[in-house]
Amino acid sequence: MTSLSMGLSPVSPVVLGAQIGAGWRPDALSPVFRAGGFDPAAHRLWQEHTGVTPAMAAGQTIGRLRSASGSLLALQPTPAARPLLVRWPKGGRRNLMPGQTEAPSTGVNWDGYGVDLIDGALTEKAVATEHNAFVRQMVPFGPVGTAATISMTARRGAAFVLQIALGSQWFGSAKFANFNLETGTARATGCTTSITPEGEGWLISLTATTTAEPGSGAPFAIALVNNNPEAARVPAYAGIEGRGLQIGRININIGARAGYQRVISATEITETGVPDRWHLLDDGDSLPVVLPAGGYELAFVTHLGAVSYTSVTSDGTAGIDVLRADRLADVLIKAGSLSTPEKAALETYWHAKHTL
């Protein structure tokens, strides 16, 4: 039996103090197994079940987990069945940028420049028949009627007109904007824009609403348009080699613009001023622990603070899988069952750690 807590109302510190004692921690529940989170700094994670190589970085597999309470181990000897260690900010991922480095690419309609998009100098090259777009990414923006915002910092160089264009398959035709980094103005078609001073340059953004929902992600492009503020959507023209500008902090959000998140990879995202929340990504994996024979209640929490419970029975031989969520932030197993006050205390503790 599994029960999902939509969140028992968090209990005040005064009530918790009366119930379990000030400075409460999950060890007060006398769990037989407790992950205690998945921060590699705690030195309870290994990449193999044999415990040879510590897991210390996002993207590594987890084959061995030592309980933070007691000495039990959750082990996965099969490499393909091991979950991935993920580092995301508290509150989860908002920036849908697939990654922050555009790999060098070739094609009939665009060029890749292999630049760091955290703070990159982006330069035209002479092309006679291709669109001079220097970033093109595929993003799953969402169903019909979803508003999406693309924002970034930009600073002029010898080039000073920057275009953001959205793929027609999700957004209909002609949704784009030209940003003049010389005058601080924008010309928008089928979308809304913003351009405000930011450091030595500008913070620019474009917001548009999806009009279709195809089966794959939609492309968006960032292009130089030959210093032409009136340019059409991703025009083909002969570029001027060496003329460029700077962009950085590309942020793709559903809805309004949110604080910038640096997407190093799908398993590693950081946000200035926001604590990391390490968790395990389960895409069909398992991480079993062998418990003494008997009945138990297993509590677990996702990276966004959703708490659930399930009853499990051990025969003392077969492992009990501790991976109970697609993104698991913590898990605790107690012999017998958890009382209502114990659940309230645990939820308050976990909500404080994982909920904004």
pLDDT in single tens digits along all 356 residues of the chain: 455 544 444 444 434 444 444 589 999 999 999 999 999 999 999 999 999 999 999 999 999 999 999 899 999 999 999 999 999 999 999 998 876 554 434 433 334 443 445 555 556 655 544 555 566 677 878 788 999 999 999 999 888 999 998 877 778 777 899 999 999 999 999 999 999 999 889 999 999 998 887 666 667 778 778 888 998 886 666 666 667 788 888 899 999 999 999 888 889 999 999 999 999 999 999 999 999 999 999 999 999 999 999 999 999 999 999 999 999 999 999 999 999 999 999 999 999 999 97
Give the residue from 356, 338, 355, 283 showing the smallest Cα distance to 28: 338
CB-based burial label for 297 (10 Å; 0-12, 13-18, 19+): buried
Residue 71 contacts residue 291 (beta carbons within 8 Å): no
Residue 288: predicted pLDDT: 98
Calculate ∠ Cα 211-215-218, nearest 5°: 60
Give the residue from 2, 15, 3, 4 showing the smallest Cα distance to 348: 15
C-alpha 269, offset from chain centre: 6
Question: What dihedral angle (degrees, nearest 10) is formed by the CA atoms of 254, 258, 260, 266?
Answer: -30
The dihedral built from the CA positions of residue 246, 248, 252 and 256, taken in this order, carries a sign that is: negative
Calculate ∠ Cα 101-106-112, nearest 5°: 25
Q: What is the DSSP letter of 27?
A: G
Residue 107: predicted pLDDT: 38
Residue 110: predicted pLDDT: 39
> Tokens 């690419």 — which residue?
105
Q: What is the DSSP letter of 198?
A: E
AA identity, residue 203:
L
Residues 6+ apart with CB under 8 A from 130: 107, 108, 109, 110, 111, 236
Residue 331: predicted pLDDT: 98
CATH class of 119-260: mainly beta
Residue 172: predicted pLDDT: 76
Residue 112: predicted pLDDT: 42
Domain with CATH 2.60.120 in the chain: 119-260
Give the residue from 212, 117, 114 showing the smallest Cα distance to 169: 212
AA identity, residue 264:
I
What is the pTM assigned to this prediction? 0.85
CB-based burial label for 308 (10 Å; 0-12, 13-18, 19+): middle
